């Protein structure tokens, strides 16, 4: 368990694994993500991959862990009547643009 967020850690030595990556990486985070601490994870990527000039990080407001528009990011929000699955603004364009720049 992470001491600060009290979320379970699933990958041991993740920072070491990230630091060994030397290929292009696109890290996308929803700012209403309740599954992971997106701020802490973003910082982990920035610190662990500081030597990788091919790291691109993008965050999306009102976006949950699954990159759907969300007000709270809570799991019960999905169960609400009338929930609309709408992709976060700019999410798919960010992927397309990132892939196009790799050409």
What is the pLDDT of the chain when averaged over all its residues?
Answer: 88
Mean pLDDT of 94-98: 97
pTM score, whole prediction? 0.82
Residue 4 lies in a domain: no
pLDDT over 70 percentage in the chain: 90
Q: Where are the beta strands (DSSP E) in the chain?
A: 25-30, 55-60
Residue 73, domain extent: 22-101
**CA torsion sign, 29 to 33 to 39 to 41?**
negative
Instruction: Answer yes or no: is pLDDT of 5 > 80.
Output: no
Residue 68 lies in a domain: yes
Residue 72 lies in a domain: yes
Count of domains for the chain: 1
Q: What is the pLDDT of residues 53-72, one digit of tens each?
A: 999 999 999 999 999 999 88
pLDDT of residue 24: 97
């Amino acid at each position: 368990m992470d001491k600060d967020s009290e979320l379970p850690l699933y990958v041991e030595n993740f920072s070491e694994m990230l630091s060994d990556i030397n290929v292009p990486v696109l890290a996308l985070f929803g700012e209403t993500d309740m599954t992971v601490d997106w701020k802490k994870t973003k910082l982990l990527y920035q610190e662990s991959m500081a030597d990788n000039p091919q790291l691109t990080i993008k965050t999306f407001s009102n976006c949950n862990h699954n990159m759907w528009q969300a007000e709270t990011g809570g799991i019960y929000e999905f169960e609400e009547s009338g929930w609309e699955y709408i992709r976060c603004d700019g999410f798919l364009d960010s992927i397309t643009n990132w892939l196009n720049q790799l050409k």
